[in-house]
Amino acid sequence: MAHIEELVREGIPAPRHVPWIFVANPETLQIGQTIWAYDDKSSGEIEYVLLIDQDQTYVCLGSDHTDRGLEALTIERSKQIYPRVLSKNAWKLEELLPQWDRLRISSRVLENGRMVDYQSGTLAQLIRPEQLLDLIGPDPEPGTALFSGTLPVLSGSIRSAARFEGTLTSDRDTTLATLGYDVLSLPEQAQPS
């Protein structure tokens, strides 16, 4: 809810209900690399992600990169326009559940030539994985990726950045997963050759 309040302060209408399930193109899932932005109105959001396999559910780290300008008009479309970035590392959900509420996620962004803290908190601040799985019903289709929702930003101001990085750490400060990607702007018009 803190993130929803943050969006409202930015002029983005609150969703009709929380949590809200969005369906996104599975082809937009990627690991790292680069996101090509249409303007300077997009930003990353650190989240945990549940990956559904045939017999197992895995947890990785993700960034729900969102078009903020479009989000003010339609939340659903804003969640579908940019790729979703995942960490390379994934853990079995059952292995992480005993320490779930103590796991930490954080993000950093590139500002003025240096990486600065952007989001930080524990998974206790987000929806529980069991509740997230209940939302999509029994027997989810293998290959499903569920993003958890995110934490508010530390400064209270959502902003674009040229680089976004995230970390999932254990209650003993062991790094479990990381992700990182650059955000480059597409040129507004073709340059004459």
Tens-digit pLDDT profile for residues 162-174: 999 999 999 888 9
pLDDT, mean of residues 49-73: 88
List the domains of the chain with CATH numbers: 2-21+28-183 (3.90.850.10)
Integer angstrom CA distances of residue 152 from 37, 62, 105, 144: 22, 15, 12, 25
Angle at 155 between CA 41 and CA 157, to 5 degrees: 25
Distance CA 27, CA 25 (A): 5
Kindly report, residue by residue over 74-83, the tens digit of the pLDDT.
667 767 788 8
The model carries a pTM of 0.85
pLDDT over 70 at 10, yes or no: no
The confidence score (pLDDT) of residue 78 equals: 67
Kindly report, residue by residue over 86-134, the tens digit of the pLDDT.
999 999 999 999 999 999 999 999 999 999 999 999 999 999 999 999 9
pLDDT over 60 at 3, yes or no: no
